[in-house]
Amino acid sequence: MNFLLEIGTEEIPHWMIPGALEQMAAVPFFMGSSEVDATPRRLVVRYTGFAERTPDDVMIVKGPPVSAGDRAAAGFAKKQGVGLGALTKVGDYYELRKDVPGRAVRDILAESLPGIIFGIQWPKTMYWTGGKTGPRFIRPIRWIVALLDDQVIPFELAGVKSGNITRGHRILGSPSIPVTFDTYEAELRKNFVILSADQRRDKIDAEIKQLGAKPDTDLVETLTFITEYPTAIRGDFDPAFLELPAEVLTTVMRHHQKYFSVESTPGKLAPHFIAVMNTSGDPEGLVKRGNERVLKARFNDARFFWDVDQHKKLADRVADLSHVTFQAKLGSYLEKTERIVKLVDELGGSAHAQRAAYLCKADLTTEMVKEFTDLQGQVGGLYARHQGEPESVAKAIYDHYKPLSMEGEIPSTHEGQLVALADKLDTLRGCFAVGLVPTGSKDPFALRRAAQGVVKILVEAKLDYKLDDLATGDLREFLLDRIKYFFREIQGFKYDEVNAVLASSCGTLADVESRLTALAAVRPTEDFEPLAASFKRIQNILKQADFEPNDVLDQSLLEDGPERALHADFVRVRDAAKVETYAKALEQIASLRPRVDLFFDKVLVNAKDERVRNNRLTLLHNLLTEFSTIADFSEIVTSGDHK
Amino acid sequence: MDSFQQTIFKLKRYWDERGAIIQEPYDVEVGAGTMCPETFLRVLGPKPYRVAYVQPSRRPADGRYGENPNRLYKHMQLQVILKPSPDDILDQYLGSLEAIGLDLSKHDIKFEEDNWESPTLGAWGIGWQVMLDGQEITQFTYFQQCGGIDLDLVPAEITYGLERLVAFLQGVESVYDIEWTRGVKYADVRLADELQFSVYNFEMANVDRLWRLLGEYEAECKELLAKYEDYPDKQRFPVLATYDQVLKCSHLFNLLDARGAISVTERVGVIKRVRDLAVGTAKLWADQQQGVA
């Protein structure tokens, strides 16, 4: 039998719908041949192939042992509500076989659906009927269609009775449409509801493409779940507004109005926009005109902000930052500015880098940033350029919030990289100093993102600063954690390789990256993992012997054969490794494997003569320390490990 | 084309036909229609209530000396409270747009998530901004909590931004060009307030005195709040007058804010002072209402 459930609601926030659909698809009842769909006003499950009834079943209840006598058997039978004759002897025990008749799936669904519907988890819920003890959902539920073929599955929730009546588009459709499983989707379509998100997305994609929109998949996704019947239209604005920075125009269009922008040539805005309506068309052009008017007002605001802001240069705004709190315990943005300037100086930044650092937060006092918060930094950069600051200063200010995410770009200039680094480091140092450290999922000052930014800049810009020079204590550990995350999750190195390289040392991150690259390259060669296993063995031997390295190796104590041969190769490889690339050096070290194996095969480390024993331990110790400067091989997980 | 006041008449008539009391504006300064006792206090408690009123709302920091075509120190809201919210409330709302002359089949209407929260009132709700051809024309909220109290009957609050709505209907680009009534523009009626109050709010309001006034109104409010418990005849107790003191404090806070006299750090503290008064007054009102029932 075919099942249809439609939960009719008032408009659900677009960004929550995909998550709700995922949950509905994962309800055990609906696993298998089900289809989930949604618009802002309806969550829908369709399932083909329910049985009419669940199968009849037999339940076996185990009774007392036969040896317990008739009284025990009678007691068991009485408790089960049957006569003694109903029991059967199976082996040494009594048993009762009960027939459990199958149930109508319709009844099971009627019982289960309210729980399934209210079981959907939402980021934020509301109550709307029955006070705070009433049902909670994302928005009020206004109707429910629940059908098994053409029969209603009867239940009630939040005062709404299930039925076979759906509703069309708020304006263009009928408010009362009887449906069956088979007619449902087509009836909706007739009433200007495109049920399938994929079809709405395709319609938007095709129409905006035809109208020349600049692609923007996130915005398409938003509009897919804000509309039941999306239709794109193109509008125009006065080309005079193109004098305003493209960043400002795009932000207004995208974030405030959910419009796509149009480019005349790549990177150059054209005086048009594309809006997606929740209706079938705009034959009289009223919607187009309305949107054009709104956009004009918004652009006028932006122009007003730009003009007002030019009355006071960025440089003259820095002092005003004393009124803008960075963080209660860490003072104002003026104080932060002073710290960033100092830090850029310490990092060896040029005069331009320091100038950028001095100006970088001044845009926080502008009307433009107060209105378009997302444009902080960018506005400062644009104003700096407009006010005649050197291009490298303007660019550094513009970029200094980058990278905005793990995938985001880092600042493109050296000055920008230094200011961005200093800004983030200052935030991290300050917050750690006053105990504002992220715990679990709580990270109100976005310190993880700041730390990730620091790591990404250091690696990708190949900056010559060592971790220990930038951070100490808990912050060093915090950054180390982010460094591991970065190389593992973003660059795709294996976790043990990352651990091995960082256990050896953490100098500059560019160096860490080269060592990792070399290690990952040598990892699959046949000698490497066995050698790593031997290193682990050496480490254990030294540990068990409580070895304290204080003696210099005495060559005269070396035994001819495997021991002397190992020493000779050790010296050769050590000297070669000092001048080789990391990759070559690692290859050389790996080539020691036969020598090391032979040594362990033939030579007894635990010699009777204490001097010989100590000399052997010294040899092993030297081997371990000399060859652990690229990576600590004992961190490598080999096939012999159980991790 | 309807004038500003004709559109207001039509909206009032529409909600009159749906059983709402048509109230007149409250006479103490408020930042939004929500702050009027007709909303803030009436949504509390188990008694159903329906009311609609135009409320001039003062937001000192939004003043632009009458120079910005879309931003006003004082704008008009038409506020509708339906408690409890009827099941077809959104259809009723759309009906009100038809009633003021919009043919919705020719326009684009979207309900976009916009939850409302007022830290100074200890109030929040769930809802949408209603977008008409890309223009926000209404804020729609299902109140969940007010004065820190969970609501028994969830009301729907519909707040029409009258200037924006009428500018849209009349097709003008500046609110000052709205035709208020035949031959009279919005600017003729209101431009002087916008200019003069911007000057006062941003340049001339005496900061020290505003702080003192805030302290005085707060003291009056606290004194009243403290007297309720031992007051013998609860129904006589002036909870409404107590609430006026809260409104005065809230407005003074907004003025000080516009004047740039409140640092970010202080801000949180002052908001809490006002919220404590609002929450305290809401409690008294809820208690007094139980006595009525």
What is the nearest CA distance from A110 to chain B, expressed in angstroms? 24
Identity of the amino acid at B195:
L
- Average pLDDT for A85-110: 89
pLDDT for residue A273: 98
Residues B43-68: pLDDT tens digits?
A: 998 899 999 999 999 999 899 899 88
Whether A361 and A440 map to the same domain: the answer is: yes
Is the pLDDT reported for residue A222 higher than 50?
A: yes
Q: What is the pLDDT of residues A385-417, one digit of tens each?
A: 999 999 999 999 999 999 988 888 999 999 999
A380 and A471, same domain (yes or no): yes
Helices B162-170, B4-17: crossing angle, 10 deg rounding: 120
Q: Number of A to B CB contacts under 8 A, please give it.
A: 107
Q: CA of A133: which chain B residue's CA is closest? A: B152
A40 and A115 within one domain: yes
Complex ipTM value: 0.94
Integer Cα distance of B263 and A331 in angstroms: 12
pLDDT single digits (tens) A48-81: 888 888 888 888 888 899 888 888 888 998 888 8
Chain A residues within an 8 Å CB radius of B115 = 124
CATH of the domain at A483: 1.10.3210
Residues in chain B with pLDDT values less than 70: 263-265, 292-293
pLDDT in tens, A480-511: 999 999 999 888 899 888 998 888 888 888 88
Q: B153 contacts in A (CB within 8 Å)?
A: 131
Residues A253 and A157 in one domain: no
Q: Which of A11, A278, A304 sits opposite B108 (nearest CB)?
A: A278
B-chain residues within 8 Å CB-CB of A328? 265
Residues of B in contact with A172 (CB under 8 A): 105
Cα A387 from Cα A314, distance rounded (Å): 8
B171–chain A nearest CA distance, Å: 8
Whether residue B134 and residue A275 make contact (CB cut-off 8 A), yes or no, is yes
Residue A262's Cβ-count burial label (10 Å; 0-12, 13-18, 19+) is buried
CA distance B224 to chain A (A): 30
- Looking at the structure of chain A, the number of domains it has is 5
Q: What's the pLDDT tens digit per position in A339-359?
A: 999 999 999 999 999 999 999
Is residue A509 situated within a structural domain?
A: no
pLDDT, tens digit (0-9, with 9 covering 90-100), for A462-479: 998 988 889 888 999 999
Whether residue A502 lies inside any domain: the answer is no
**Across the interface, do A127 and B111 touch by the CB < 8 Å criterion?**
no
Could A283 and B150 be called an inter-chain contact, meaning their C-beta atoms sit closer than 8 Å?
no
Shortest CA distance to B97 belongs to which of B175, B7, B3, B4?
Answer: B7
Residue A142 has its nearest CB partner, among B87, B107, B151, at B87
**Same domain as A364, residue A256:** no
pLDDT at A643 over 60: no
The domain boundary residue, chosen from A450, A474, A492: A492
My answer on whether A298 and A405 are in the same domain is no
pLDDT of residue A534: 82
Q: Residue A4 in 3-state DSSP?
A: strand
The SS3 call for residue B37 is helix
Same domain, A273 and A346: no
Question: How close B89 comes to chain A (CA, Å)?
Answer: 10
CB contacts, 8 Å: A283 with chain B: 106
Q: Which candidate from B69, B150, B171 shows the least CB-CB separation from A132?
A: B150
Instruction: Nearest by CB to B133, from A127, A128, A290: name it.
Output: A290
Contact between chains at A226 and B110 (C-beta distance less than 8 A): yes
* A351 and A428 part of one domain: yes
Residues A166 and A293 in one domain: no
Under CATH, domain B4-200 is a member of which superfamily?
Bira Bifunctional Protein; Domain 2 (3.30.930.10)
Residue of B nearest to A192 (CA): B105
Residue ending a domain, among A275, A291, A310, is A310
Q: What is the pLDDT of residue B293?
A: 53
Q: What is the pLDDT of residue A622?
A: 86
Is residue A114 domain-resident?
Answer: yes
| CB A231, CB A277: distance < 8 Å | yes
The beta strands (E) that lie in chain B are given as 21-22, 49-58, 74-83, 109-113, 116-118, 123-132, 135-146, 149-150, 156-161, 179-181, 184-185
Residues A46 and A83 in one domain: no
- Please indicate, yes or no, if residue A347 is contained in any of the structural domains: yes
Q: In the prediction, which pLDDT does B264 show?
A: 60
**Are A67 and A95 within one domain?**
yes
Residue A266 to chain B, least CA–CA distance (Å): 27
Interface of B with A (CB under 8 A): 68-71, 84-85, 87, 90-91, 94, 104-113, 115, 126, 128, 132-135, 142, 144, 150-154, 168, 171, 173, 260, 263-265
Residue A346 included in any domain = yes
Task: Please tell me the distance in Å from B223's CA to the nearest CA on chain A.
Answer: 32
Nearest beta carbon to residue A277 from set B108, B144, B152: B108
pLDDT band at A522 (very low <50, low <70, confident <90, very high): confident
* A148 domain residue, yes or no: yes
| Residues of chain A contacting residue B264, judged by C-beta atoms under 8 Å apart | 323-325
Domains B4-200 and B206-292 equal at CATH topology level: no
Find which of B91, B107, B108 to mutate to test the A interface (most A CBs within 10 Å of its CB).
B108
Q: Looking at the domain assignment, is residue A640 inside a domain?
A: no
Q: What is the domain partition of chain B in residue ranges?
A: 4-200, 206-292
What is the band of A579 on the pLDDT scale with cuts at 50, 70, 90? confident
Alpha-helical segments (H) within A360-472: 367-371, 378-386, 391-399, 414-433, 447-460, 467-470
Q: What is the pLDDT of residue A616?
A: 87
Residue, of A337 and A548, whose pLDDT is higher: A337
Residue A511: inside a domain = no
**Strand partners for A57:** A100
Rounded Cα distance, A55 and A59, in Å: 13
CATH number assigned to the domain comprising residue A534? 1.10.730.10
Structural domain span for residue A369: 314-492
pLDDT at residue B292 in the model = 65
Confidence of residue A642 (pLDDT cuts 50, 70, 90): very low
CATH class name, domain B206-292: mainly alpha
Tokens of A359: 């100006």
Of A457, A492, A527, the one marking the end of a domain is A492
**Closest-CA residue to B81 (of B37, B128, B120, B132):** B37
